[in-house]
């Protein structure tokens, strides 16, 4: 590599993320000059990189990187870095135009004039935001074009009306409200100023709230609703954008009738069983037909409500879903959430309805491979899939028939998979895991939930324990099960380099915490989050475990280890009130198993 021209070397290195480049330069000292190149360090993205918790990031940037080159800095989710260190770093970046600091100790506070050159800002708002003096503070932010304020409880308390009126050039506004505050007033105030007072030049508004949005369509003139989602895990999400006027086209008599793909799409859309991601939704909002789209995200809603829709039954649901997934429009799909009923082999029911029924029906066993399974061809069409969520279907009596159980073996066809979230029926033995772990080498996120698990039926857990060693790149693991053998699990996890681990389930009442937890946690230096949810242990044992595991953090502010009896008992750290012994809210989506398919990703701001 020393013989390569510098231009070619830079072109190769630019394909890596900044953390990998830093690691590369740490091993090969003669390449440290790369950290001084503007094309490498103009954009520093450390977002939610929990591997750097032992690294003094601010000091590293100041000493190893040419500060004049840094234009964009993303430190979202780095909750452990002290506020003073972040402020000192930002002041030393003369050409910084973009700052992303959500879920950090950095706040949008009065008299913080070091933001004055920014054009893009994503940051937590301070609880004292209503005390901001417009003439002193906001006039220095005249270049600001985009803004994200993840908490807007105080945004409308300014005596002069909305605080946002002080930003004359703001182009996009992203609001993530976590406090449960109703955002109706916020939306109406924004739109009123936008249309009536002409004080805002907004072209895009992105909102997320746990409360529903009111209907302000009379104020939305000029802004189109390009995305709306009502997800019980995430809450309500809304995107309003200014779009060019659509040309109304009359359908030609020479145009073909609806294709099978279009018919399937409209069936599922009409029943509310299918949603696409924000990018796909915007594409359809611009007047394009569904035939022209190349989907990136698809979220199939549970078919449990089929009884309420007379125009659709489960067989129609499955056929329509597979028609869409087998189409060319899904060839480059990145994220997918489906129900396990899509694994059902409808050919068996067709044969059963046409063939005479013998006195003794042949038993159809559960295969350990996906050979000749109908979903295998679907999986091959989705070869570019990176995130997959499989929900156990609860509709009807065919949810655990042989073909459905065999369908889980098709997961190994998704070779580019990075994130996998699966709900497991209690009769699956888990033999498919070894191939998934061996084939899906990019898998770094695994979430398994076992329903109706019986300790006597331990085939799945046995396969899970024994095959964990093959998941070499696994970083985040969440396991929810009726019973967890901590000793077996920890002995196999020691071979991995985990960042986050959440375990939910009963544990042995005779376990000695001092013999299990310290040895495992101290052997995982990269682990920043460990949560054990066990409701079968007493408060005394819970306190004892907490005392033990918190000592294993070695007072590292990035490490959070906790044992609780129920998820509802978790004490989340509020971005406005930071305290010890609380779990940073940056981990809440992972802990609560919230879907990331067909929802707004605020990290893309």
What's residue 199's pLDDT?
58
Neighbours of 425 (CB within 10 A): 18
The pLDDT score that the predictor gives to residue 63 is 92
pLDDT (average), residues 358-380: 63
Q: How far is CA 218 from CA 171, 177, 195, 221, 223, in A?
A: 21, 23, 10, 7, 11
Token reading at 63: 């000493």
pLDDT in tens, 266-277: 989 888 889 999
pLDDT at residue 417 in the model: 96
Distances in whole angstroms, Cα of residue 233 to Cα of each of 16, 227, 391, 446, 458:
33, 17, 14, 18, 30
CB neighbour burial string for 175-207, b if at least 16 within 10 angstroms, e if fewer: bbbbeebebeebbebbbbbbeeeebbebbebbb
Strands (E), 431-499: 445-450, 476-483
Tokens, residue 14? 């630019």
The answer for 111, left when phi > 0, alpha when psi is -120 to 50, beta otherwise, is left
| Residues 6+ away with beta carbon under 8 Å from 100 | 47, 72, 73, 74, 75, 76, 120, 122, 123, 148, 605
Rounded mean pLDDT of the chain? 81
Cβ neighbours, 10 Å, residue 380? 12
CA-to-CA distance for 105 and 101, rounded, in angstroms? 8
Residue 595, CB-side half-sphere exposure with 13 Å CA sphere? 27
Q: Residue 53: pLDDT band by 50, 70, 90 thresholds? A: very high
In this prediction, residues 567-594 reach a mean pLDDT of: 73
Read off the pLDDT band of 45 (50, 70, 90).
Answer: very high
When pLDDT is cut at 50, 70 and 90, the band that residue 358 belongs to is very low
- pLDDT for the residue numbered 185: 59
Q: Assign 428 to helix, strand or coil.
A: coil
For residue 459, the SS3 value is helix
Which of 12-16, 41-45, 144-148, 162-166 has the least mean pLDDT? 162-166
Sign of CA dihedral 135, 140, 144, 147: negative
Spell out the residues 6+ positions from residue 261 whose beta carbon is closer than 8 angstroms to its own. 290, 291, 323, 324, 327, 329
Q: What is the pLDDT of residue 230?
A: 84
Q: Is 220 exposed, middle or buried (0-12, 13-18, 19+ CB in 10 A)?
A: middle
Domains and CATH numbers, the chain: 42-241 (3.80.10), 258-347+365-474 (3.80.10)
| Confidence grade of residue 396 (pLDDT, cut at 50, 70, 90) | low
At 218-247, the pLDDT tens digits run: 556 678 889 988 877 777 888 988 887 766
Sign of CA dihedral 384, 414, 604, 274: positive
Has residue 216 got a pLDDT over 60? no
- What is this structure's pTM? 0.88
Please answer whether residues 70 and 41 qualify as being in contact, where contact means their C-beta atoms are separated by less than 8 angstroms: yes
Q: Which residues contact 584 (CB under 8 A, 6 or more apart)?
A: 79, 103, 560, 572, 573
Tell me how far apart the alpha carbons of residues 583 and 598 are, in angstroms, rounded to a whole number: 26
Q: Tell me the pLDDT tens digit for each residue of 406-465.
A: 889 999 999 999 999 999 887 788 889 999 999 999 999 999 998 766 665 578 888 999
């Amino acid at each position: 590599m020393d013989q390569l021209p510098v231009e070619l070397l830079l072109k190769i290195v630019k394909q890596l993320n900044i953390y990998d480049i830093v690691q590369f330069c740490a091993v090969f000292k003669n390449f440290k000059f790369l950290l001084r190149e503007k094309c490498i360090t103009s954009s520093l993205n450390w977002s939610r990189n929990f591997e750097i918790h032992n690294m003094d990031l601010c000091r590293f940037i100041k000493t190893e990187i040419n500060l004049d080159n840094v234009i964009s800095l993303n430190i979202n989710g780095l909750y452990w870095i002290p506020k003073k260190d972040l402020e000192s770093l930002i002041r030393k970046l003369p050409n910084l135009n973009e700052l992303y600091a959500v879920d950090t100790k950095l706040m949008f506070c009065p008299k913080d004039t070091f933001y004055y050159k920014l054009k893009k800002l994503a940051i937590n708002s301070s609880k004292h935001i209503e005390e901001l003096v417009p003439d002193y503070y906001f006039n220095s932010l005249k270049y600001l074009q985009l803004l994200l304020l993840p908490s807007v409880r105080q945004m409308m308390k300014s005596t002069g009306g909305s605080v946002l009126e002080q930003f004359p050039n703001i182009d996009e506004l992203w609001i993530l409200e976590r406090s449960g505050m109703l955002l109706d007033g916020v939306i109406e105030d924004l739109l009123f100023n936008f249309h009536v007072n002409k004080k805002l030049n907004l072209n895009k508004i992105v909102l997320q709230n746990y409360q529903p949005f009111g209907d302000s369509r009379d104020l939305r003139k000029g802004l189109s609703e390009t995305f709306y989602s009502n997800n019980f895990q995430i809450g309500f999400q809304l995107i309003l954008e200014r779009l060019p006027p659509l040309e109304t086209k009359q359908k030609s008599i020479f145009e073909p009738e609806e294709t099978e793909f279009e018919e399937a799409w409209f069936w599922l859309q009409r029943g509310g069983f299918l949603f696409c991601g924000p990018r796909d939704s915007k594409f359809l909002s611009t007047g394009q037909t569904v035939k022209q789209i190349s989907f990136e995200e698809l979220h199939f809603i549970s078919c449990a409500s089929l009884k309420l829709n007379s125009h659709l039954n489960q067989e129609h649901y499955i056929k329509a879903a597979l028609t869409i997934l087998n189409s060319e429009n899904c060839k480059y799909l990145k994220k997918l959430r489906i129900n396990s009923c899509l694994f059902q082999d409808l050919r068996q029911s067709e044969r059963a309805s046409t063939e005479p029924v013998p006195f003794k029906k042949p038993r159809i066993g559960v295969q350990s491979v996906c050979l000749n399974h109908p979903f295998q061809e679907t999986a091959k069409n989705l070869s570019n899939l990176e995130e997959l969520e499989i929900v156990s279907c609860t509709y009807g009596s065919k949810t655990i028939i042989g073909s459905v159980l065999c369908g889980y073996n098709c997961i190994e066809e998704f070779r580019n998979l990075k994130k996998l979230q699966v709900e497991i029926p209690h009769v699956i033995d888990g033999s498919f895991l070894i191939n998934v772990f061996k084939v899906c080498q990019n898998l770094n996120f695994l979430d398994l939930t076992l329903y109706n698990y019986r300790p006597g039926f331990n085939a799945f857990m046995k396969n899970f324990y024994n095959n964990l060693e093959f998941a070499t790149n696994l970083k985040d693991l969440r396991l929810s099960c009726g019973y967890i053998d901590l000793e077996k699990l920890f002995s196999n996890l020691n071979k991995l380099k985990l960042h986050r681990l959440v375990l939910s389930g009963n544990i042995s009442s005779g376990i000695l915490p001092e013999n299990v937890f310290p040895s495992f946690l101290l052997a995982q230096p990269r682990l920043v989050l460990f949560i054990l949810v066990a409701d079968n242990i007493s408060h005394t044992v819970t306190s004892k475990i907490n005392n033990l595991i918190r000592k294993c953090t070695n007072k590292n502010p990035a490490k959070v280890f906790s044992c609780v009896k129920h998820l509802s008992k978790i004490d989340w750290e509020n971005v406005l009130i930071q305290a010890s012994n609380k779990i940073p809210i940056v981990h809440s989506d992972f802990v609560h198993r919230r879907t990331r398919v067909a929802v707004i990703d605020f990290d893309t701001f």
